Amino acid sequence: MSNSYLKMDNMKKTRCPRASMAQHAALLNFLESEKGLAEGKFVAMHGKESARKKWLEIAEELNKILGAVKTPEQCQAVWRDLKSKTSSKFKTLKRERNATGNIPLTKGFLNPIEERVVAIVGWEYMMGNIECPDSLEIEVILANAQKETAQAMVKILENFAFLGEILAAQNRIENCVNIIDRA
């Protein structure tokens, strides 16, 4: 069952209220000072327990702010969703920019909350690993290779058809030569 559901009444799922903008801002304030927690990296001994306590602390602070009341797990889900939505929007904007000939987009294409998310998680998270090729580029390369392969196969088949015509003509000539030789 998803953490975004608070209760089940007669097998009907009810969504939790959404976190307010003020809660998002407070969450980002906390995570800006706790990069390891934001990245999900626990370097200390007992790091997982330390992270659990910090998320409990975050939940307590966020619940003091006007907005939704969330458990630590739900606060983690809010952070995960913020990262995911920002990353998707960032990649969509990047793809659109590349499609328009790399013409700059209008100023402030990310809202202030999204800009802070990018600052926390870093460019590599948003851009993807530099060592790993962009899947869109790979798809384009693959499509072009398939098209070129199909065109090459058509040419080969045309050459075989032409070769077949030559062989048939040669066979007819040999038949004519045989007829003439018998005569």
pLDDT tens, residue by residue, 141-180 = 777 788 888 888 888 888 888 888 888 888 889 888 888 8
Q: What are phi and psi of 103, to 5 degrees?
A: -75, 130
Single pTM value for the model: 0.59
- Separation CA 122–CA 90 (nearest Å): 12
What the block records as the tokens of 89 is 């929007």
Closest CA to 76 of 103, 37, 43: 37
pLDDT tens, residue by residue, 80-114 = 999 999 988 888 887 777 666 666 655 557 888 99
Query: Tokens 């003439």 appear where?
Result: 180
**Domain ranges across the chain:** 5-132, 134-183
